[in-house]
Chain A
């Protein structure tokens, strides 16, 4: 079978495993990110990977994943605080902080003309993932599922009307912060494989496409995860045969699905 030819390579097996973990994870997370209108927020979060890495390099931390996660968590909490302050239009403020963090990161990483060393972070390389890193992704998937089971109702309610959620005794600030911290950790753990430039597309597109055709929360999650996994696997296979980077291929498939569902909604009035 020609299709399985690609699985004789270990790096392809690993990549496939990683895709099978990352895509459902992103499919699930995306539902609430879209509900809470945080697409721009998660985009800014992805960009902060540069700064996290730069800080790690600057302080000579061997494992830059750690500095990336720490910085992203702090950044996410800060952005979340600003988002709820409502003082200035929050998308402007997020944009300012996002640009600042990208600039700081680029400035440090490009010292002495060394940036090419880090440019892989931009597009990501899922083929280079190792077993150990796959296991850490699996752990975060399990954590996310547990968190989702316990906190989804509350977070869903907060997104619809936070005053009403508060009046129902839902711990609004706590849940909201826990959610952005989780998103920050997941984005930082996967950004090396997916790439800064497209990680947000992976978070948003499956949920956005599912939203076009779903009528309740069960369908929303089911479709989002299915679309995400399907685009992931198909994108990876296509990238192998077309000799293109996996990340962009994946986003292309997901985008096409988005437009198909969008048209389906218009045509069939779902």
Chain B
């Protein structure tokens, strides 16, 4: 009591601020412990997702050809390009949703072995309307467990999902209806699903609209954290060139094939970029 009534605690506001500070510190420690629990390995630099001579055809039209990419763990690879350039088709072929020719595999360069590619996917949007009777708990539990979500809630699972959501600052979303989430909140819930269990390759399809600038920035920051803390590669289809320039380790300019690949400043200053977008960013 004596201590609390010190100079900082004289006004009620002082106590409140102090209280909040302690709360924040606790949160930070708590989050650190969750990270530790979830993350087994930091990026090692030896894992690669290799795409070689990928070709996708729809009827007689060639959508993608000669696409070869090597995507390293611990790096954020951003795919940019105009509408219809084949960005979503590239994603669909990695997800094995469309038939393709060529090779997509997960390699360990340390011993040249080929591993199982575990893909985590964050789609652009969900087929869910405003009033759909689906809570965030239902959504996450249905995608990641076998505990039937139409029966009673499992307390243990509830706590587990909450913890996983908390990694992306979404713990308090668990009881909300999915239709009521904002674009940014939904994205964080989807990230939780994609990262349970932790994949080798995380593929994200950034929504064209629905998320404000701050929300987007937060999203890129989360991705930045992710790739540093998990042993995974990240592929992002982006519609925000500015944030791409800021956060991407590797940029792929796509138009039916890879026009240009490399660090952001190199690709966005290239003549290919200028041809596609009509201006040079650097």
Contacts and interface: CB of A to CB of B under 8 A. Distances in A.
Contacts of A191: none
Interface in A154-168: 154, 156-157, 159-161, 163-168
Interface stretch (A63-71, A133-141, A198-206, A214-222): A214-222
Nearest to B144: A168
B143 interface: yes
Interface in A212-256: 212, 214-221
A163 B145 contact: no
Contact of B143 (A164, A212, A216): A164
B127 A153 contact: no
A168 B147 CA distance: 15
Given A152-B150, A156-B142, A166-B95, A217 B123 contact: no
B95 A163 contact: yes
Nearest to A219: B133
Interface residues of B, number: 37
Most chain B C-beta atoms within 10 Å of own C-beta, residue among A160, A161, A214, A217:
A217
B148 A159 contact: no
B144 A167 contact: no
Nearest to B147: A153
Contacts of B149: 152-153, 156, 217-218
B222 interface: no
A150 to B, nearest CB: 8
Contacts of B193: 164, 168
A166 B150 contact: no
A127 to B, nearest CB: 32
Contacts, number: 92
A41 to B, nearest CB: 15
B119 interface: yes
B95 A160 contact: no
A143 to B, nearest CB: 16
A149 interface: yes
Interface in B141-179: 141-153, 177
Contact of B127 (A148, A159, A168, A212): A159
B143 A217 contact: no
B133 A153 contact: no
A182 to B, nearest CB: 16
Contact of A163 (B121, B131, B151): B121
Interface in B90-111: 92, 95-97
Given A216-B133, A217-B149, 18 more contacts: A31-B150, A149-B151, A156-B138, A156-B149, A161-B127, A163-B97, A164-B190, A167-B203, A168-B143, A214-B133, A215-B177, A216-B135, A217-B135, A217-B138, A217-B150, A220-B133, A220-B150, A265-B131
17 contacts: A148-B150, A153-B145, A153-B149, A160-B142, A163-B92, A164-B126, A164-B190, A168-B144, A211-B132, A215-B135, A216-B135, A217-B133, A217-B142, A217-B150, A218-B153, A219-B133, A220-B133
Which 9 pairs show the lowest CB-CB distances between chains A and B? A214-B133, A220-B133, A167-B121, A216-B135, A153-B142, A221-B150, A217-B138, A156-B142, A217-B149
